[in-house]
Structure 1
Amino acid sequence: MRVGLGGDAASGPMNPHFGAAMAYPADWHKSSYSGDSPNCVEVRERASGTDVRDTKNREAGHLSFCPSEWAATLAAAK
């Protein structure tokens, strides 16, 4: 895991979770399960992993996870 204060979203040839070709969106987004709640995190997917930030404190930067770390985080959250 890395801590970042910005950066560009990258395009990648493969989605690490599905093995299909895809373009990674540059936009941050939050889960549809969050609804209108301000108490959530936002994510953006990149070829090299996933970035996560606090919706209410975007200026504080973000955490970056490599694909295997992100997959383990999602598996643990289920």
Structure 2
Amino acid sequence: MKMTASGGPWRKSSFSAQTDNCVEFRRIEGGVEVRNSKRPDEASVTYTDSEWRAFIAGVKAGEFDV
């Protein structure tokens, strides 16, 4: 895990709009930073652009459906 000093505004899924129990993400130089919305002051996880694109492609392909 890596803390990042600055980035764009934090965003969360529109599916999570009614609750504080979600993850948030923001663009940073060279990738995307993800954090727990319930613990915004704790460590975040940083993904490279290629890792993030692979994750989004997997979501769209249904790889994470339960």
Give the deviation of 1:41 after TM superposition.
Answer: 0.3
TM-score by length of 1: 0.67
Cα deviations across residues 1-25 of structure 1 (Å, max 9, x unaligned)? xx1234112xxxxxxxxxxxxxxxx
Q: How many residues align?
A: 60
- Give unpaired runs (5+ residues) of structure 2: 61-66
CA RMSD of aligned residues (A): 1.3
Q: Which runs of 5+ in 1 are unaligned?
A: 10-25
Q: What residue number does 1:23 align with?
A: none
- Aligned position for 1:7: 5
Counterparts of 2:44 and 2:34, CA distance in 1: 5
Output the CA distance in 2 between the equivalents of 1:72 and 1:65: 10
1:1-78 superposed matches below 5 A: 3-9=1-7, 26-78=8-60
- Which 4+ stretches in 1 moved above 2 angstroms? none
